[in-house]
Structure 1
Amino acid sequence: MPISAVVYREGHHALGVQVVWRGPDGTERDRVRMRPLGAGLDRWTAAVRPDGVGEWSFLLEAFDDPYLTWRDAVTKKLDAGQGAAELANDLTEGAALLHGIVWQGRASEAALIRAAVAALRDDGLAVAERVAPALALEEMLWRQPVRRLVTRSEAYRIRVDRTKALFSAWYEFFPRSEGAQLPHRSGTFRTATKRLVAVAEMGFDTLYIPPIHPIGRIHRKGRNNSLIARPEDVGSPWAIGAAEGGHDAIHPELGTAQDFRDFIAAAAGLGIEVAMDLALQCAPDHPWVTEHPEWFTTRADGSIAYAENPPKKYQDIYPLNFDNDPEGIRAEILRVVRHWVGEGIRAFRVDNPHTKPLDFWHWLIAEVKRETPDVIFLAEAFTRPAVMHGLAKIGFTQSYSYFTWRTSAAEMREYCEEIVASAHYMTPNFWPNTPDILHESLQHGGPPMFRIRAVLAAMLSPSWGVYTGYELFEHEARPGAEEYLDNEKFELRPRDFARAEAEGRSLKDFLTRLNRIRRDNPALHRWRNLRFHDSDNPAILVWSKKDPDSANTVLVACSFDPGAVQWATVGLDMPALGLGWDDKVRLRELLGGGEHLWSAAGNALRLDPFLYPAQIFVVERADG
């Protein structure tokens, strides 16, 4: 983690600056000396590397460094040709300074320091010989400096998450649809377990499941968000709560608490982590409605206000009101989250967090991470940029994004450059589709567009995800809406994946390949290393990522046109690839195969959306 600061002092004496780095337990872990960033700028920089998850802290200490002041003066006088007579005071002062270091008890360096003191006091030696041992102490006394007149900054807190907070591949399915039998026999955790193998085979490491709690019966929605439900309609999982229980209960049709634990264990055995939905809203028959009516908003006519996003109405959902009993509602929600953490959940997808008080989230996330620092919170907040950034700053680990609505190369480049600028606190997660969102590009772009959006999401963002059915090219929308027809939010939707794969109507192999490329190339595990390159075709976006800790570099070119072959001449930013402008690169293509030799300019590229709408290259320096 890079740290920089402006630090200065009066006069010409040497200044030292250190980062004091403390671990989650509050103990000091390290002191890292900062170096000046350019002459005369008074800006200092250092890098620290935490080695564990949790809340770390650091502060800066600035101090007078008498050894550096002495060394600088002596070096300049020697360079000017001055002799022992002119340096007499410097030799005496240097010996006294170093003798004081020995007296302070630096045992491991005592021998070197004593030798330097003896040399400075030995007037039988030439002046250069007298000062040489003391000047040779520079590196040792840089790491363990003599510090006087120490001043300190305030302490700054840094939350350190596990790697998966940055790099992850998400897959979403409804457990009740897996193994379901129409018209209304729900799937269970046991039947959904059978689907886990396919999820793992595609390379997804996080499985997000919508709410698994009892679903309200009062004002239950029917198919396609109908206001009138038939007896067999299963309702929306986000209408949480019924006589069987609320946010800490499991829908009886899905199975028991033990079935849920077995489901989590089976997923873990395949390398998949289960992420739960945290939706803080209630059906009218949720137990909280009768037990804590003060947690809801009462309208002028005495009724409880249901959720609205005008002109949309959600009569099956009551939003929570945090104003009347903030302490009580906070304590209950913390209890609910602790319950699921106790069941083995370490990732939550939070529904509409921007509709709840931000200070509540700040408190809740801090409380949960204080006890269980590896928990991840993904914000499902398609809202104004300032609010999304605010949620990230108060503690949300990841966030849904505007990726879905960036449909040209120029728009995508501009958006990703904005993300890189805020990557020190915000980690977007790119989803081409969700149960709520079926963008018109997928409605009309055919299978090539599904490949295009998958490449963009998987190769641009370290974290990405898809909602089930994406691999089957599901694209039928409800008329006049940006969402699926026969939406799975309101009905069971079992799918015949095996038949689709046998008939060649599946994107499974393509998604598997993308996730394998992501896994095998550490350059794709980060945000801040994203760099764009020039293309003379506005329908083609070209970018690269270089891993700072290895030689791995990936270059991607992706077309935004699902209907026609596109050509481009590409210019490479060679320094972004870690190369010189006159170097050549060998590109090893990972989708269609083959190798290419490119230089900084004039590189021809052809993308066929009906074959591969993108090319993904591993970049290697060409010999000769």
Structure 2
Amino acid sequence: MTFGRVTGNNAVTWEPDRCDWYETVKLNYGYNFLAGLPALRLLPDWTSPKQKVPKTWRIMDDILSFWQGLGIGGFRCDMAQMIPMAFWKWAIARSRVRLPDVFFMAEAYNDHLKTTPGDPCTALLESGFNAVYDADCYHLAEHVYTRGNWANDFDRLFRSEPQYLTHGVRYVENHDEKRVCSPIAWGGTGRTILPAIMTLVYASGKGPVLVYNGQEVGERAEAPGGYGGHNGRTSIFDYTCLPQLQTWVAGGRFDASLLDEDSAELRDFHARLLPLLQHPALDRGDFYGLNWANMKNTTFGREPAEDTSGHWVYAMLRHHAHSTVLVVGNLSPTINFYNLCISIPQHAFNWCGIQTEKVRARNLMWKEGKDRLFDRSELMDRGMAYPLKPGEVGVLELSEA
């Protein structure tokens, strides 16, 4: 035997380096991965009842069956693009015989480890997954603070990837990425911007959202979490602690009064936003970006030296049946857009079916807020006045009045 083991990231060596996944062992799914994509053609036709499948397939199916038998109704599959699509089709189909609405979510990336030509996320959806990670949305949001992207850039992303509107898993934190509130990530302004980033990322799609452990109290990952050191992450694989979350848990008391003011406010914001995502317009609605209609609008969050709007402010409509929701966020960590106005063009009103001259706006984030009435012509011309402090958002239900 030349090599005794292969690491989880396909390193065939007796001496894996510190970045190899040496704590994992690659499973044999019935093909020679060293031969590349052509070897996948040798996998069995799983749709044939007489065709035997590889032993590993049967073992993995037994594992899925075991957990389903304990009442587990969903699975997150790590680096799913590394596994043959033929296996996923077979395994997910068998899982749905046992439980028709079992949920499969794929963490997957279009990288050199994929086992399919083209975009593996598309192949995974075709294989039966309910949702796949929308890494592009995460990175675009991050790049607003690290690479100079504008809020306007979200329009291009949302329009060009329709599959992610429906099946994309939207997130602002996961175990692989730096914490938003870490002092060394997101320009060091995470606590201020997290509400706006989270709202725009979560509210722009129909797919599921991911809330990472401790996100709701603003974990900062300041202490070294194992061998990763001071890298802005809580941990990759090592055991560690979550100081902010532990303060709230308090030995099982779950007492928000023990949190500092910033953490308590952030947790309250999560408690208000996440239920709103079940609103019909946000859960099942189509998407309409408004930034294109406001780029010449001087009151749409424009800095003094800029001649185009949409650097820090993003606005969108979501619409389903008779429900329409306007979402707007100030992504700036420092600028107070006290004179912000959002123009809604005639085309948008036609799109969502609002034709009356009076338009009612109900603030969904604050139950104590009063409804506001606007002239539709005013919203098309001057726009809706909605001042936003740094990191603030508005989620408003629009209806005919």
Residues in 2 aligned to 1:366 and 1:586: alpha-carbon distance in whole angstroms: 46
Q: Structure 2 matches for 1:175-574, cutoff 5 A?
A: 300=2, 302-308=3-9, 312-323=19-30, 327-383=54-110, 386-402=119-135, 403-407=137-141, 408-420=150-162, 427-438=167-178, 442=186, 444-462=188-206, 463-476=208-221, 484-487=232-235, 489-494=237-242, 495-497=246-248, 498=255, 502-504=259-261, 505-506=263-264, 507-519=266-278, 521-527=279-285, 529-533=286-290, 534-536=293-295, 537-538=309-310, 539-548=312-321, 551-566=322-337, 567-572=339-344, 573-574=348-349
Letter in 2 for 1:471: E
3-state SS of 1:553 partner: strand
Shift of 1:308: 3.5
- Assess, with a 3 A threshold, how the Cα gap between structure 1 residues 380 and 404 changes in structure 2: closer, same or farther: same
Residues in 2 aligned to 1:516 and 1:499: alpha-carbon distance in whole angstroms: 19
Tell me if structure 2 keeps the 8 A contact 1:381–1:399: yes
CA deviations 1:235-285 (Å, max 9, x no partner) are xxxxxxxxxxxxxxxxxxxxxxxxxxxxxxxxxxxxxxxxxxxxxxxxxxx
3-state SS of 2:237 partner: coil
Matched residue, 1:119 = none
- Assess, with a 3 A threshold, how the Cα gap between structure 1 residues 450 and 511 changes in structure 2: closer, same or farther: same
Residues in 1 aligned to 2:163 and 2:175: alpha-carbon distance in whole angstroms: 30
Residues in 1 aligned to 2:284 and 2:154: alpha-carbon distance in whole angstroms: 17
Unmatched runs of 5 consecutive residues or more in structure 1: 1-297
Shift of 1:454: 1.8
- Counting aligned pairs with the same residue, the percent is 19
Tell me if structure 2 keeps the 8 A contact 1:585–1:620: yes
Letter in 2 for 1:445: T
3-state SS of 1:574 partner: helix
Letter in 2 for 1:410: N
- Assess, with a 3 A threshold, how the Cα gap between structure 1 residues 406 and 338 changes in structure 2: closer, same or farther: same
Tell me if structure 2 keeps the 8 A contact 1:442–1:450: no
Matched residue, 2:383 = 603
Query: CA-atom RMSD, angstroms?
Result: 2.9
Residues in 1 aligned to 2:239 and 2:257: alpha-carbon distance in whole angstroms: 21
Residues in 1 aligned to 2:10 and 2:381: alpha-carbon distance in whole angstroms: 51
Shift of 1:571: 2.4
Tell me if structure 2 keeps the 8 A contact 1:458–1:514: no
- Assess, with a 3 A threshold, how the Cα gap between structure 1 residues 619 and 483 changes in structure 2: closer, same or farther: farther
Residues in 2 aligned to 1:400 and 1:309: alpha-carbon distance in whole angstroms: 22
Matched residue, 2:398 = 619
CA deviations 1:335-361 (Å, max 9, x no partner) are 110111111011001111101111111
Shift of 1:437: 1.2
Shift of 1:419: 3.6
Residues in 2 aligned to 1:619 and 1:393: alpha-carbon distance in whole angstroms: 36
Letter in 2 for 1:321: N
3-state SS of 1:313 partner: coil
Shift of 1:472: 2.0
Tell me if structure 2 keeps the 8 A contact 1:530–1:545: yes
- Assess, with a 3 A threshold, how the Cα gap between structure 1 residues 552 and 486 changes in structure 2: closer, same or farther: closer
Shift of 1:388: 1.0
Letter in 1 for 2:220: H
Residues in 2 aligned to 1:398 and 1:378: alpha-carbon distance in whole angstroms: 5
Tell me if structure 1 keeps the 8 A contact 2:175–2:233: no
Give the TM-score normalised by structure 1: 0.46
Matched residue, 1:206 = none
Shift of 1:583: 3.3
Shift of 1:475: 3.1
Unmatched runs of 5 consecutive residues or more in structure 2: 12-16, 32-42, 44-52, 112-117, 142-149, 249-254, 296-308
Residues in 1 aligned to 2:230 and 2:177: alpha-carbon distance in whole angstroms: 6
- Assess, with a 3 A threshold, how the Cα gap between structure 1 residues 482 and 601 changes in structure 2: closer, same or farther: farther
CA deviations 1:453-512 (Å, max 9, x no partner) are 221233223321211211222234679999644516311315211367543223111111
Residues in 2 aligned to 1:315 and 1:427: alpha-carbon distance in whole angstroms: 32
Q: Between Structure 1 and Structure 2, which shows a larger proportion of strand residues?
A: 1
Matched residue, 1:280 = none
Tell me if structure 2 keeps the 8 A contact 1:435–1:483: no
- Assess, with a 3 A threshold, how the Cα gap between structure 1 residues 309 and 473 changes in structure 2: closer, same or farther: farther
Give the TM-score normalised by structure 2: 0.70
Rg larger in structure: 1
Tell me if structure 2 keeps the 8 A contact 1:348–1:377: yes
Shift of 1:442: 4.2
- Assess, with a 3 A threshold, how the Cα gap between structure 1 residues 613 and 309 changes in structure 2: closer, same or farther: farther
Tell me if structure 2 keeps the 8 A contact 1:439–1:482: no
Matched residue, 1:151 = none
Shift of 1:391: 0.8
Tell me if structure 2 keeps the 8 A contact 1:450–1:470: no
Residues in 1 aligned to 2:320 and 2:230: alpha-carbon distance in whole angstroms: 37
Residues in 1 aligned to 2:324 and 2:61: alpha-carbon distance in whole angstroms: 43
Tell me if structure 1 keeps the 8 A contact 2:134–2:164: no
Residues in 2 aligned to 1:616 and 1:486: alpha-carbon distance in whole angstroms: 31
Tell me if structure 1 keeps the 8 A contact 2:89–2:127: yes
Shift of 1:307: 2.8
